[in-house]
Structure 1
């Protein structure tokens, strides 16, 4: 009787095994038609096959230890394609196989991956969770685009056979969103994070303050949001992120391998703070020139660079220390951006050095627009280049945001309506972005800029 019971159990297990492997049995060859899809960014190595992989209705995602998170992302992708999914741990036991292998780091780095699609299986390998995540983002681009809007109603999905090896050229791949001139709320910023992930961008730079508005809650200086957040450019949106919303956004971004970099622009571009706390101004508002606005009036224009802190008074540095300290406490990434652009003041260099020191005191690394390198800042400071014309007195790491290549609020083609052209008269085209080359060993990476001076709706 025991032998019969054992035989019966074994029979069930064998049947279950072959049932689970049904999806990885050989399938018919389906010839590929038309041009292969475009992938952004272009992978380091890419070889298209001649046939297609038909995504079956029933799928098995097989993952090894450490790749559970990537398996969940892959399941979400297949769910959105209206496919049935089973997740199981193991090695190469499904028609979707995920492998985390730390020994691949020498070949792929921390963010690289391999993706192989045959007419039978999809195989993903990476040295880290980030690498596996980016492989899934590549799959997002291979799936029907309607899925991104939740509008896919088809049944058959075909993926072209391909063999990809990919890793990023730079560790810093960012976008800047200007919420200061016109506010974007939490839900919009989450959608922006999702778009960033699709293109393997990993730094979200939030421009949180300018002359028009203050967008982050600082509890020790409550009027910054009580007063300063009420402003915006004409036709724009007012508002601010509470500290809890800011933390929620960071968690959302980090789960997608994106680190948020907060910027509080200083010592210029600071009118929203000065209207919130007029006592920070010099006597007779001599630090506001030309007087495009004066407290208690908010500012809704587009011109910037006309306001600055009163750099001779100690209260200014108390404010800076409090704001940076509180921002550092709620920021999960290692960087605080202090702005520092478009300002002329005899005490400018003194201020920048002090601000850099304050950021370090609070356990973060300071970033500033390239003008900060006119001052003898610390070697840990990071310069963000937007013109490339500043004569630097220090040798520091750089983020490249040269306006002729990466200011995406400019026209994409000459004469495009609702855009800017102050940096490049004929606009910043896709070719301008793609043709950028740089062999400076100090460059950490690139960052695209959207100043929101144009499209406000």
Structure 2
């Protein structure tokens, strides 16, 4: 969400090129926080973010040698895919062959990935056991194996991320037993590709960052006043007229349906669910450039490269509007295997309360008719919501609490804690300040269960960190604003509250800088972190 009268765009900085990661993550079922076992207070392996529920150090270490292999059970394509992602990470830097085997007993030096009938760890939990002779990751579901692989990745030396073969005397992993599962089922980030357009490779790089830190939702803000960014075949003028510019000018752009499907598949392979957002009834100027007959805006639709909000809206009392909404939702829903469609719904001072509620309720029905669960910014709670609808709280307690009265779940995205487009401090070149200055500790030091009045842990499905792109022109700029706040919020979403503390987190996070350097990830060297 954007505050009105946002500052004008700041210049983006030129920074180190971004690299690709290899990763994983997933979305669990809606229903608030997962039940997690009480954390076991032991000596904590310093590198893992988010901090696992239970860490029990052993003695000695596992050495990844040239004879290393990955062993999986036959017959499960998802587990085999996870094994291949792990092998593709390890092979370039080590120079080892790392074959994947689906038969025979594990040999010494193997990394073993196994599914278990034990349901105690849920859909995303895992157990990782590192001994001198092998590494074993077990989980009840494939997503848990993905998350376990990310933990193993963080336990390996950061040089493992290199795409060039490196000579090392040993690739070691400390002996440890980790039992882990997430606090919340929705652990997300949002990328605004509407104000500035991001290419398919850039979006994939962002997905890789999410997966490394066990985030499992990427919410794509696909349309706003400045640009419409996805092909709708039944409404071709959305892209032919509405995609051609962006904040500050420039060519804009859009995803063809094939490109969008490519992003969805890439995310799905890493257990990240894509949640598409078409913001409406406000923030629709770009759509109305192509279809001005649907406009009830304050001014005639025209290409827009500024950053102010609140001047555009679809008409709520025209049947043609709902035919348009149906076309858009139908085509995007067919391309999106995830269960959610985000309708936006924020910042519309033009429609009356009655017309706004009418629009939200009719859109909610359209989304349900196309087999999706509706998500919207907190303002949608001014309408009558289905119990399956999800409200995304960003500004106030009262509206989110109203959503809960309908039985709806809530995603917490409080602007003062989670908005990654806010500056770290006054000297930060990129970003805005309207919500707050957000240093890493500000992003980390809060408890979702007690943050909003009238919203308890039982009402919360998870948290999400948006990055709006008024000042963000490319993926390296997005990385700079996201890192290291994104891992901080990942730990808020994953780790039980009683197991979190700033001092331990900051020390663990500091060890990730060399890994980011090998990956080519741009980041802010916060003075709060003991690098």
TM-score (norm 1): 0.85
Q: Which of 357, 362, 365 is the equivalent residue of 1:357?
A: 365
Shift of 1:456: 1.7
Q: Which residue of 2 aligns with 1:443?
A: 460
Q: Which residue of 2 aligns with 1:131?
A: 144
**Are the equivalent residues in 2 in contact too, given 1:113–1:126 (CA < 8 A)?**
yes
Q: Which residue of 2 aligns with 1:310?
A: 315
Shift of 1:99: 4.2
* Secondary structure of the corresponding residue to residue 103 of structure 1: coil
**Are the equivalent residues in 2 in contact too, given 1:250–1:260 (CA < 8 A)?**
yes
1:9-408 equivalence runs, <5 A:
36-65=45-74, 66=76, 67-81=79-93, 82-88=95-101, 89-106=103-120, 108-148=121-161, 150-151=163-164, 153-155=166-168, 156-234=170-248, 238-281=252-295, 287-289=296-298, 291=299, 294-295=300-301, 297-344=302-349, 345-346=351-352, 347-391=355-399, 392=402, 394-408=406-420
Shift of 1:57: 1.7
Q: Whose radius of gyration is greater, 1 or 2?
A: 1
**Are the equivalent residues in 1 in contact too, given 2:377–2:392 (CA < 8 A)?**
yes
Summarize deviations over 1:330-350 as a string: whole Å, max 9, x none.
211111110000113210001
Q: 1:435 to 1:237 in 2, by over 3 A?
A: farther
* Secondary structure of the corresponding residue to residue 177 of structure 2: strand
**Are the equivalent residues in 2 in contact too, given 1:115–1:164 (CA < 8 A)?**
yes
Shift of 1:61: 2.0
Q: Which residue of 2 aligns with 1:419?
A: 431
Output the CA distance in 2 between the equivalents of 1:120 and 1:94. Answer: 5
Shift of 1:47: 2.6
**Are the equivalent residues in 2 in contact too, given 1:91–1:99 (CA < 8 A)?**
no
Output the CA distance in 2 between the equivalents of 1:57 and 1:268. Answer: 58
Instruction: Give the superposed CA RMSD.
Output: 2.0
Which is further off, 213-222 or 59-68? 59-68
* Secondary structure of the corresponding residue to residue 458 of structure 2: coil
The runs of 5 or more residues in structure 2 that have no matched partner are 1-43, 450-455, 475-531
Summarize deviations over 1:12-70 as a string: whole Å, max 9, x none.
xxxxxxxxxxxxxxxxxxxxxxx954211111111334533322122122222444333
Output the CA distance in 1 between the equivalents of 2:118 and 2:250. Answer: 48
TM-score (norm 2): 0.74
The runs of 5 or more residues in structure 1 that have no matched partner are 1-34, 282-286
Q: Which residue of 1 aligns with 2:21?
A: none
**Are the equivalent residues in 2 in contact too, given 1:130–1:257 (CA < 8 A)?**
yes
Of structures 1 and 2, the one scoring higher in RCO (CA 8 A, sep 6+) is 2
**Are the equivalent residues in 1 in contact too, given 2:55–2:179 (CA < 8 A)?**
yes
Output the CA distance in 2 between the equivalents of 1:149 and 1:307. Answer: 47
* Secondary structure of the corresponding residue to residue 321 of structure 1: helix
Q: 1:384 to 1:90 in 2, by over 3 A?
A: farther
Shift of 1:366: 0.7
* Paired residue total: 412
**Are the equivalent residues in 2 in contact too, given 1:63–1:90 (CA < 8 A)?**
no
**Are the equivalent residues in 2 in contact too, given 1:100–1:128 (CA < 8 A)?**
no
**Are the equivalent residues in 1 in contact too, given 2:116–2:138 (CA < 8 A)?**
no
Output the CA distance in 2 between the equivalents of 1:64 and 1:279. Answer: 58
Output the CA distance in 1 between the equivalents of 2:164 and 2:249. Answer: 32
